[in-house]
Chains A and B, each alone.
Chain A
Amino acid sequence: MADKSKLGFEFPTGYFQVQKNKIAEFAAAVSQKDSINDIKNIYRDEETAKSDGYINIPIPLTFPTSFAFWTAGGIFGIIDEVGADVTKLLHSEEEYEYFAPICAGDKLTAKMRVAEMYERGKKERKGRYFEITVLVTEIFNEKNELVLRARTTFVER
């Protein structure tokens, strides 16, 4: 059961540099390619990315999942911090808002907080009672501009 005193908790600020090889690895995983030679050029070739209007190789849409959680010690760091039970936990919703492109080489700062904690249903009704935790992560670039907001919803069943 999630610890409701954690509502509003702010995780320590995380710092990341977006790495070209990590983008390629992630792009290969979501496109189910065995080799990074088979991924789209935009995810492996700087010149292709630049001719498409990016300052460097851009990230795939869901790539922020590979770094956002590390601000809190990874997925298990988060689960421990909010006191959730990993054996009952499901990821129920994910949302990204993109305010500016994120590209290889970018140095980012991530601030994650426990934005919401609430229950749905009645405790006595087994299988009909859920505890919900919403994490919001805001990612800033070197100019301290907000480039991305991620909203992650977990349910304990």
Chain B
Amino acid sequence: MKINFDNIQVGDTMPSYTSLPITRTHLVRYAGASGDFNPLHHDETFAKAVGLETVISHGMFIMGIAGEAITAWIDNKHIRKFSVHFMGMTQPADLNDFENTKNRATITVTGKVVEKFTENGEKRIRCEILAEDALGGRKLSGYLIAALP
């Protein structure tokens, strides 16, 4: 269904979106695609040297997943603003202990429309966004503003 300004109401929810359990391979693929080769995201020896148990996801990868959730709902061309605050680190799933580690690496993105308003001659909505892992750990929160037909 195409959403438009008139058929969306404050309190409506964005369809929730759940990622695959994030693996180290996903992190490497994202590093290549984004150009962010901070070793924190792929080099275990570096992560341990700075006091972490293991590598962690790029925050921007989680934001990218949230972006997928948003554009599955509203076309890219309608988005005017996308703003997030990173809240927690994400460790990838371990392939040698997948069942016990997949939940920490599975991200669900939810959203809720909190405001309808007119700005710059456009009918806009503001929708709050939250990304959490399957254990309830918060990864990022933020909001988007979209101009709807």
Contact = CB atoms under 8 A, between A and B. Distances in A.
Interface of A: 22, 25-26, 28-32, 42, 52-54, 58-62, 65-67, 69-70, 74-75, 86-88, 90-98, 101
B1 interface: no
Contact of B82 (A61, A70, A90): A61
B64 A30 contact: yes
Interface residues of B, number: 37
Contacts of B83: 93-96
Given A60-B64, A62-B63, A75-B37, A92 B86 contact: yes
Contact of B80 (A54, A62, A70, A98): A98
Contacts of A87: 49-50
8 contacts: A58-B77, A62-B67, A74-B37, A87-B50, A90-B86, A91-B59, A95-B82, A95-B83
Contacts of B67: 30, 60-62
Interface core residue of A28, A29, A59 (most chain B CB under 10 Å): A29
A32 B63 CA distance: 13
A56 to B, nearest CB: 12
Contact of B81 (A25, A86, A88, A96): A96
B63 A29 contact: no
Interface core residue of A54, A88, A91 (most chain B CB under 10 Å): A91
Interface core residue of B32, B34, B37, B67 (most chain A CB under 10 Å): B34
Contacts of B79: 61, 98
Contacts of B86: 90-94
Interface string B1-36: 000000000000000000110100010011011111
B75 interface: yes
Interface in B73-90: 75-77, 79-86
A70 B29 contact: no
B20 A32 contact: yes
Contact of B85 (A52, A69, A92, A97): A92
Contacts of A75: 35-38
Nearest to A31: B68
B60 interface: yes
Contact of B29 (A22, A28, A42, A67): A28
B82 A30 contact: no
Nearest to B67: A61
B71 A60 contact: yes
A62 B86 CA distance: 14
Contacts of A61: 64, 67, 70-71, 76, 79, 82
